[in-house]
Amino acid sequence: MRALCWYGKNDVRVISVPDPKIINPHDAIIKITLSAICGSDLHLYDGYIPTMEKGDILGHEFMGEVVEVGKEVKKLKQGDRVVVPFTIACGRCFFCQKDLWALCDNTNPNARMLEKLYGYSGSGLFGYSHLYGGYAGGQAQYVRVPFADVGPVKIPEGMSDEQVLFLSDIFPTGYMAAENCQIRPGDTVAVWGCGPVGQFAIKSAWLLGAERVIAIDEVPERLRLAETAGKAETINFAEADVFDQLKEMTGGRGPDACIDAVGLEAHGTTPDALLDRAKAAVYLATDRPTALRQAIHACRKGGTVSVPGVYGGFLDKVPFGAAFAKGLTFRMGQTHVHRYLAPLLSRIQKGEIDPSFVITHRLTLEDAPYGYQIFRDKQDECIKIVLRP
Amino acid sequence: MSASERSLADHPQSHHTIVHRIPAGPMGRHRQINISENERWVSGLGGGALALYGLRHGGFGGILLALAGGSLIYRGVTGHCDIYHALGISTSEKGGLNASVRHGEGIKVEKSVTINKPPEELFRFWRNFENLPRVMSHLETVRVIDEKRSHWVASAPAGTTVEWDAEIINEKPNELIAWRSLEDSQIPNAGSVRFERAPNGRGTEVKVALNYEPPAGSLGSLVAKLFGEEPAQQVAEDLRHFKQVMEAGETPSVEGQPSGRSATSGRQK
């Protein structure tokens, strides 16, 4: 089969590899009909994530048709059309049973590697380095899905691939970020980052009853999408002081909740951002938390900072003193996708949201390397790319 | 009476290096450790130096030296000297008589894991020792002999195997199993596994305590550490596999999955 493989910084290639096989009795093989490139794939592309090996197949947002099932698979059968969550969960451990699917105990074969970094290991992920299990990803024609009865969600007739693909990752991620804000009537939610996750966070904040949503970015087409599709007020951080703007827009109070949908590769031209880049270049720091710093600074007293944006290592110069003084609540983490599949599918079916609004580019799998490059460099007004194998 | 029939009661153990007299006899299936720790280090390192010298020197003399060095290394690593055995001598502190590990000696490992299953289910799985190779990667087979005794075969560094007989010395249904290896064990070991209900519906806390002497003493354990087979880590991994098998019904694996490394065509080198 054809698959998109990682070969180093800025080097991804589509090559021919063997087809996947059933390895464990709870596996299924999916023939992929649509997949996507995620913002967090760019951390792999830019060489920020350790334990990658040349030849690893990438891709964790995918859907398709079941072509083969292992002998312990009871709920799925050949021909079923499914979307697959990017986190792999067993369904039977303490965490899965508490709806904390991304923290599953039993799906990372390299758990001991991750334990060295973080103390304890969460679930395995598709296509996201050997730290997270080294599972072959779904930017390919076929993929092997462990615990096929637990993860994949069946898609009813009459819905297009583009409408449901983002249930695999970015829609639940944006939704969980908004849910973590604990939105109450009258609340203003500020969202840093108008990439796809930010766009879903904006829409989700409205769905969850926010009074106002303010979106922050510098890329023109992304701010525009936040205005038109997201109905958000916008701030361009390259042209305005974010803290001052937010304060004045909220009657001197500050936003009630702040979402950092940017994560570790934040861009910025403020002194702290430049210092971050310098330190990252010489490995004194690993992550660049410009957006997080601003969110902490801008949040109202007693408010909530919600962090869906991926962080990997250590942060430097984070204003924890400000967070303490203002009594902030932090809620964060990898998305518990399984929790949201049914409710969000239902919202799509009812017409409350059409997730395909973020798609700007439709490429074939063979053109994926070009897609990575324009996505990373934000060329051609790229916001989200889907790939057809 | 052969060495294997002698009981601990007959020979008081000593902490000093003493030459023990043991009647010479057939070598038997298990090589007993009959060289002291210090002497094993000297033998191993000295043998290494001699072998290197011999190989560099070359010629017939060099080969003889290298062979002599090789046998000294073997002596150091296994702790067994054929010449000593033939002479009925042991410089090992323990005289090769242990039925279990002496207090304060050997390697001690304590690891625990919480498993989302009731204690009865976990006890039942563990108590049938023949199940254990399914979750412990270093165990090759376990054969249950009777109510109390079993025979164990494990893989050891450098592609060898070690074997021993064990007996259950204490058992409380659904709570505790304690065992020790019998005399003549290649790796004297003793241990216990406890099953305790975890708080508020979390399942069972499984606590393993293990005390053992690795086959090649400290030298072997150092080598094993260097090659990533540190005992505490191995026990922790085995407990993780136990948890995965009991909760999820399988251990997660990516073995045999596709990648660019197994590409059939089209890849540029």
Two tokens at A141?
């024609």
How far apart CA A305 and CA A298 sit, in angstroms, is 10
**Any idea how long chain A is?**
389
How far apart CA A63 and CA B235 sit, in angstroms, is 38
A228 to chain B, any CB pair closer than 8 A? The answer is: no
Based on the fold, state whether residues B24 and B147 are members of the same structural domain.
Answer: no
**Is position B158 within any domain?**
yes
A22 to chain B, any CB pair closer than 8 A? The answer is: no
> For residue B52, what are the domain limits?
3-90
List of residues 6+ apart from B257 with CB closer than 8 A: A20, A21, A23, A135, A136, A144
ipTM for the complex shown: 0.91
pLDDT at residue B6 above 80? Answer: no
A24–B253 C-beta distance less than 8 A: yes
Number of domains in chain B: 2
Based on the fold, state whether residues B125 and B227 are members of the same structural domain.
Answer: yes
Based on the fold, state whether residues B137 and B239 are members of the same structural domain.
Answer: yes
Mean pLDDT in chain A?
Answer: 95
Tokens 């580019």 locate to A361
pLDDT at residue A358 above 90? Answer: yes
pLDDT tens per residue, range A118-160: 999 999 999 999 999 999 999 999 999 999 999 999 999 999 9
Based on the fold, state whether residues B141 and B43 are members of the same structural domain.
Answer: no
Q: What is the pLDDT of residue B218?
A: 61
**Is position B164 within any domain?**
yes
- Amino acid occupying residue A153: V
Q: What is the pLDDT of residue B96?
A: 42
- The last residue of one of the domains, among B60, B90, B120, is B90
CA distances from B243 to A179, A270, B235, B249 (A): 32, 49, 12, 9
Based on the fold, state whether residues B114 and B211 are members of the same structural domain.
Answer: yes
Q: What is the pTM of this model?
A: 0.81
pLDDT band, residue A372 (cuts 50/70/90): very high
Based on the fold, state whether residues B172 and B198 are members of the same structural domain.
Answer: yes
Q: What is the pLDDT of residue A106?
A: 98
Q: Which of A49, A107, A21, A158 is nearest to A337 (CA)?
A: A107
**Is position B264 within any domain?**
no
**Is position B260 within any domain?**
no
Is residue A297 within a helix (H) or strand (E), and if so which, with residue range? helix A290-298
A18–B247 C-beta distance less than 8 A: no
pLDDT tens per residue, range A203-251: 999 999 999 999 999 999 999 999 999 999 999 999 999 999 999 999 9
pLDDT tens per residue, range B9-55: 344 443 444 444 444 444 443 455 667 766 777 776 777 677 777 77
CA distances from A386 to A1, A33, A276, A371, B198 (A): 19, 10, 32, 9, 46
| CATH number of the structural domain spanning residue B206 | 3.30.530.20
**Is position B265 within any domain?**
no
Residues from chain B that touch A17, judged by Cβ atoms under 8 A, are 258-260, 262-264
**Is position B224 within any domain?**
yes
Q: Are B189 and B101 in contact (CB under 8 A)?
A: yes
**A368 burial via Cβ count (<10 Å: 0-12, 13-18, 19+):** buried
How far apart CA B265 and CA A306 sit, in angstroms, is 46
Based on the fold, state whether residues B173 and B236 are members of the same structural domain.
Answer: yes
A16 to chain B, any CB pair closer than 8 A? The answer is: yes
Based on the fold, state whether residues B60 and B112 are members of the same structural domain.
Answer: no
**Is position B149 within any domain?**
yes
Q: Residue A379 gets which letter from DSSP?
A: -
Is residue A220 within a helix (H) or strand (E), and if so which, with residue range? helix A220-228
Based on the fold, state whether residues B111 and B85 are members of the same structural domain.
Answer: no
Based on the fold, state whether residues B59 and B129 are members of the same structural domain.
Answer: no
Based on the fold, state whether residues B17 and B122 are members of the same structural domain.
Answer: no
Two tokens at B218?
């400290």
Q: Are B211 and B106 in contact (CB under 8 A)?
A: yes
Neighbours of A350 (CB within 10 A): 8
Q: Smallest Cβ distance to A111: which of B202, B240, B265? A: B240
Q: Which of A342, A289, A354 is nearest to A317 (CA)?
A: A289
A19–B243 C-beta distance less than 8 A: no
Based on the fold, state whether residues B57 and B126 are members of the same structural domain.
Answer: no
The rounded percent of chain A whose pLDDT value lies above 90 is: 89
Residues from chain A that touch B203, judged by Cβ atoms under 8 A, are 94
Q: What is the pLDDT of residue B132?
A: 93
What domains are defined for chain A? 2-168+355-388 (3.90.180.10), 171-332 (3.40.50.720)
A55–B259 C-beta distance less than 8 A: yes
**Is position B255 within any domain?**
no
